[in-house]
Amino acid sequence: MKGKVLGYDNKEGTGVITGSDEKRYGFTKDSWKNATVPNVGDAVDFEADSSSKNAINIYADMAENSSGGNGLGGTGEKSKVVAGILALFLGTFGIHKFYMGCNTAGIIMILIFFFGFILAGIPSFVIVIISIIEGIKYLIASDADFDKNYIKGKKCWF
């Protein structure tokens, strides 16, 4: 059966999968057949143990995950820590926007920052505040939320 990882506690070695039948199945680290630990949102293929409502023989669906960029070989993965640090230290130049793939937003930030000094620096100050807020939002977001909103969702502002 196909499904997605809803949650995984690395410390406990347990997690939950939602199957294509829309039911939830618990699983343990012993049922996970890949070398890497499961991540929230990973597509999986598994067998459902109907007697215990657990998932067994769980394999990452590499074809699905490699196109999704969610930790199992995807090429488009971005780090929330890198994005947050770029926003905090170089955000006034829109560098974090370029890193995240929001080139238009990056260009807008650069232009407003440099030409904002014409208007007593107020627009430039606003860009500084925006980049600080965005940096903090990136850093405090959970990995799943960051991936959902900023990577897959292509959310370019706040």
- pLDDT bin (cut points 50, 70, 90) of residue 30 is confident
Render pLDDT for 70-114 as a digit per residue (tens, 0 to 9).
443 333 468 899 999 999 999 999 999 999 989 999 999 999 999
The residues of the chain that CATH labels 2.40.50.140 are 2-68
Average pLDDT, integer, range 116-135: 93
Q: Is the pLDDT of residue 134 over 90?
A: yes
Please report which confidence band the pLDDT of residue 68 belongs to, taking 50, 70 and 90 as the band edges. Answer: very low
DSSP 158: -
In angstroms, the CA 124 to CA 118 distance is: 9
Banded model confidence at residue 20, pLDDT cuts 50, 70, 90: confident
Count the alpha carbons within 13 Å of 98 in the hemisphere toward its beta carbon: 12
Mean per-residue pLDDT of the chain: 85
- Under the banding of pLDDT at 50, 70 and 90, the label for residue 22 is confident
Question: What residues contact residue 79 under an 8 Å CB cut-off, 6+ apart?
Answer: none
3-class DSSP state of 56: strand
**Which CATH architecture group holds 2-68?**
Beta Barrel (2.40)
